[in-house]
Structure 1
Amino acid sequence: MVPKISIYPDYNAMSQAAADRVIALLTRKPDSVICLPSGSTPLGMFRALAAANQKGEVDFSKCIYIGLDEWIGLGAGDEGSCRDLLDRDFLKPIGFRENQVVFFNGKAMDPEAECTRVNKIVESFGGLDLIVLGIGMNGHLALNEPGTPWDTYAHISELDPLTAEVGQKYFNKPTPLTGGITVGIRHILEAETAILIGSGGAKAQVIARALAFPVTADFPATVLQNHMNAEFILDEEAGSGLKR
C-alpha cells in the first residue's frame, strides 16, 4: 500500500491542511479519540486549530486526547516535558478539560503499569480515530525507536542516542534523556487514520526513505506503508526527495 502524499507550498499551508483533517474528523465524529504530537513541527497545526476553535468552526468538547509519548522521569509541570509543551501549545489554548486528557506520567513509580493503564484506556474507546505523527531523523515514530516490533502497544523505549541529542532542543539546560514511554506501533497501525506531518529540507531524505522499500523495523516510519489509511502531509521542502 502506498500512503496518500499531499504536498503544500510552505509550512503554513501544510499546517493548515493538517488542521483541516482534524476539523473534518471532529465535525463528522465529535467524540473522536485523537492522538497528536508535541514538538516544533505541529505548532502551526495547533495555531490553526486554536483559531478555528475561537471562531466556533470546530468543537473539541466531546473528544478525547491521548498523549503520544513522554520522557521517562519527566511529567506535567517539568519544563520541556511533552506534557508541558502540549499544555502550552494546544491543550490549554483549546480549553481541554482534564477528564478529556489521557497522558503518560513519565514520573510513574511503575512505568510498565503506566503502559498498561494507557493501553486499557485506548482499548476501552475502541482504539484511536486519528494519530498525527512527526518523524525522527532515524525514522522513529513517537518514541518507537529503530528495532521496535510491529506488534507493540504502549511500552518503555530505550532512546537512540540521536533522539536524546535532538531532544535537548526542548530544554533550557542539559537534561539527561535515557528512556521514553510511548504509544506503540500497533496503536498506529490500528488507528482509523494515521497522518505524518513533515516540514523542511532536513527531513526530505528521511521522508523519502519512509516511503521506500523495504518496510522494516530498522526504520519504523516505513510501517505506514502497511496502514490502510495513511497520509503524508508535507511542505515542498520536506517532499523534495520524492519522485513526482
Structure 2
Amino acid sequence: MTPKISIYPDYNSMSLAAADRVITLLAKKPNAVICLPSGSTPLGMFQALVAANQKGATDFSKCVFIGLDEWIGLNGEDDGSCRDLLDRDFLKPIGMRDNQIVYFDGKAPDPQSECDRVNKILDGLGGLDLIVLGVGMNGHLALNEPGTPWDLHAHVSELDPVTIEVGQKYFKTPTVLTKGITVGIRNILEAKTAILLASGKSKAEVIRRALAFPVTTDFPTTALQNHLNAEIMLDKDAAELVAPNR
C-alpha cells in the first residue's frame, strides 16, 4: 500500500487538519483508542484540539489515550519527559482522567514487565484505532530505531546517537539518555489508522527517503509503505522533495 500524502501550505493548516482527523474519529467512535506522541511537531494539533474541547466541538470523555514512548529512567514526574510534555501540552488542558491514560513508566523496576503491562492493556482494548506519529532525523518511528525488528509490540529500545543528541532539546540541563520504552512497529502496522506529521525543511530529506527507499528496517519510517491505512501529513517545506506524482 502507498500512504496517502497530504500537503498543506504551512504548519498551522497541517496541524488543524490533523486535529480534524481526531475530532472526526471521536464523532464516529467516542471510545476510540488513540496513541499520541509528545514533542514539538504535534503541538499545533494539540492546541487545536484543546480549543475544540473548550468550544464543545469534540468530546474526550470516553476515549483512551496511549502514550507513544518514554525515556528509560524518566516518567511524568521529570521535567522534559515524554509524559511531562504530553501532560502539559494536551492531557491536563483537556482534563483527562487518569483512568483514560495509558503511559509507559520509564522508572519501572522491570522495563520488560512494563512493556508487558502496556501490551496487555492494548490487547484488552482491541488495539489502536489511531496512532499519530512524528519522524526522527534518522527515520525512527516512536523510539523504534534503525535496525529494530518489525515484529515487536511494546519493547525496550537502545537509543541511536542521533536520538540521544536531538532528545536533549527537551531538557534544561544535559540529561543521560541511553534507552527508551516504546510501542513497536507491529503496534503501528496493526493500528486501524496511522498518521505521520512532519514540518519544516529539515524533515524534507527524511520524508523523501521514507517514500522512495525500499521497505527496510534500516529506515523504520518505510514501514508505513506496508500500512493498510496510513496518511503522511506535511507542510510544504517538509514536502519539497516529494515526487510530484506522489
Task: State the Cα distance separating 1:243 from its structure 2 match.
Answer: 1.2
The aligned residue for residue 87 of structure 2 is 87
Normalising by the residue count of structure 2, what TM-score does the alignment of the two structures yield? 0.99
Task: State the Cα distance separating 1:76 from its structure 2 match.
Answer: 1.1
Q: Does 1:29 align with 2:29?
A: yes
Query: Matches of 1:123 and 1:241 in 2, distance apart?
Result: 38
Task: State the Cα distance separating 1:20 from its structure 2 match.
Answer: 0.4
The aligned residue for residue 232 of structure 1 is 232
Query: Matches of 2:58 and 2:148 in 1, distance apart?
Result: 36
3-state SS, counterpart of residue 212 of structure 2: coil
Q: Does 1:62 align with 2:62?
A: yes
Q: Does 1:203 align with 2:203?
A: yes
Query: Matches of 1:183 and 1:121 in 2, distance apart?
Result: 12
Query: Matches of 1:78 and 1:188 in 2, distance apart?
Result: 27
Query: Matches of 1:110 and 1:130 in 2, distance apart?
Result: 28
Query: Matches of 1:237 and 1:35 in 2, distance apart?
Result: 26
The aligned residue for residue 183 of structure 1 is 183
Unaligned 5+ runs, structure 2: none
Query: Matches of 1:181 and 1:243 in 2, distance apart?
Result: 34
Question: Per-residue CA shift, 1:131-155, capped at 9, x if unaligned?
Answer: 0000000000000000111111000
Alignment of 1:13-28 (within 5 A): 13-28=13-28
Query: Matches of 2:213 and 2:171 in 1, distance apart?
Result: 35
Query: Matches of 1:41 and 1:206 in 2, distance apart?
Result: 14
Task: State the Cα distance separating 1:7 from its structure 2 match.
Answer: 0.3
The aligned residue for residue 152 of structure 2 is 152
Number of residue equivalences: 244
Alignment of 1:52-201 (within 5 A): 52-201=52-201
Question: Per-residue CA shift, 1:194-220, capped at 9, x if unaligned?
Answer: 000000000001011001131000000
User: How big is the alpha-carbon RMSD for the aligned residues of Structure 1 and Structure 2?
Assistant: 0.4
Task: State the Cα distance separating 1:10 from its structure 2 match.
Answer: 0.2
Tell me the percent identity: 74
Unaligned 5+ runs, structure 1: none
